[in-house]
Amino acid sequence: MVGTLKKLTSEQAEECVRLYESGLSLQPIAKYFGMSRQGMWDLLRRRTTMRPQKKMGNENHFYRGGATADERANDILEYAIKTGVMVRRDSCQSCGKQNELRNGRSTIEAHHPDYNKPLDVMWLCSKCHHEWHKHNKAIRKGETC
């Protein structure tokens, strides 16, 4: 039923607001009520103050510590792949998925658990990469374990 238009009762809409204000994310609320994430966002933005969407900084679990922590490691890795020193994997090392986009590009991402070791990467799908950052923090360039 996700993706179809669904009219919620006022009680259901109030419950959506309560769930969101208690800290739950849009996606699980939308799924529970059989709505799209975008539809739930539209409903909630009219009824409550939306939480700020941090794109940078320590509040974002994808924050890597700034350009000095990851830019050079990424450049070195890209060059190693381009020259054949490293080979890009086509499956996730965590869950084994082999996702490919319509244009043929892989969704498997290189992940640096330690930016001091630019060629020591984990090949993860987006979901596993996201989960890794939820529970771990990469070692920044110049830091030690």
Give me the tens of pLDDT residue by residue for the chain, a chain 145 residues long.
Answer: 444 456 899 999 999 999 998 888 888 899 999 999 999 999 999 999 998 775 555 555 555 555 445 678 888 888 899 889 999 998 999 999 887 777 777 789 899 898 888 899 999 988 898 889 888 888 887 777 6
Ramachandran angles phi, psi of 100, nearest 5°:
-135, 140
Helix, strand, coil tally for the chain in percent (to 5): 40, 5, 55
Q: Which long-range contacts (CB under 8 A, 24 or more apart) does 22-31 make?
A: 30/2, 31/2
**pTM (2 d.p.):** 0.52
- The predicted structure's pLDDT at residue 41: 93
Whether the CA torsion 57, 59, 60, 63 is positive or negative: it is positive
- The predicted structure's pLDDT at residue 64: 52
